Structure 1
Amino acid sequence: MTNSSPYTSPARIAVIRARWHSDIVDRAHDSFVSEAATQLPQAQVDTFDVPGAFEMPLLAKKLAETGRYDAVVAIAFVVDGGIYRHDFVAGAVIDGLMQAQMTTGIPVFSVSLTPHNYQPADVLTAFFADHFVKKGAEAVEAVRQVLTLTAQLAPAQATRKSA
C-alpha cells in the first residue's frame, strides 16, 4: 500500500544526534529540520545530543516511552577508527534502535551510516557531508510516510477492538 498523501496532524519528533563527526552529522540534522518545515509544517522537532552512536538506542527508547513523541530519528556516522570493529558498534546501534521501536510502538528511524572506507581527508569528508544532507531529507519523507500509515491504521484498529 503506497500512500503519497501528506501527514497533516501536528507531529512531535525527537532527533538524536551523535557528536562524533559532528561536522558531518549536523548536515543531516540541518537537512532534516529544513525539510520537515516543508513536508511536516506543523511538526515540532526537539534535538538531543549524545556523545556517540552507541548511546542513541537507550535515549531513543526513553524518549519514545515519554509519550511526547510521534517518532524518533537517530543520526550518527560510525567509522572504522582502526582500534575496534566499527561494524560491531553499527550493528549494536541498529539492533538497539529496532528494539526501542518494537518495545515502545513509537517508530524509530536511523540515519546512522557506516562507510566501508572513511579517512578524514577533505574529499571524503565533503562526500559524506553532502550525502548526509540527502539522508536527512530522505528521513523526513520516511517519517511522513510512516506517520501517515499509522494514522490510517488507527481507525481500523479502534474498530476491531470495539467489535
Structure 2
Amino acid sequence: MPAHAHARASRRRAVAALRFGRLAVMGAVAVLILVAGVRASWGTAQHVMLTKGRERGTMTVAECSEERCSGPYRPVSVGSTARGRVVLDGAVAVEEGRTYTVVVKPGTDEVVRAGAGGLLYAWVPLGGALLLASVVVAGGLGRSRLGWALGGAGLALVTAAFLAL
C-alpha cells in the first residue's frame, strides 16, 4: 500500500473517531440536561401528581413576601388537619385574599398548588431543560428536526404553565 493511501485511510479513521466522540459527548450532555430537568421538576410534581394518601385542602393567601406566601390551611381530604399557617412558594402566581387548592408536602408546613396550574408549574424546569437540550441536539448532534421538536415541546410547556397561572 502506498504511503499516501495509508495516510488517507488513517485520516478517515481519525475523522470518524472524532465524529463519534463529538456525537457521544453531545448526546451525553443532552441526556444529562433532560435528566436534570426531570429531577428538578419531580421534587414538586410528585406531590401534585401522586396525591393518594397526601393531605389536600385549600389555602387562603394572607400575606406574601418576595419569596413566599402564607396563610391558613383548610383540609378537604380525610385525615388532613387544619393549620393556622402554611407556606407556598412565592414564585407561583397568587394573589393575597384568594383561595387556592393545595397539597401539603409530608412532614412540613409547605404546600404546593394542585390542579392543572400546579402541575404545569411543577414541570417548568423540564420545559427549560427541553429548550436547552434542543440547542445541543440541533447544534451539537446535527439533528435539527429533533431539536425543533424538543424546543417546541419546551416552549409549549412553559407557555401553558404561564397561561394556567
TM-score (norm 2): 0.28
TM-score (norm 1): 0.28
Structure possessing the higher radius of gyration over alpha carbons: 2
Structure of greater relative contact order (alpha carbons < 8 Å, 6+ residues apart): 1
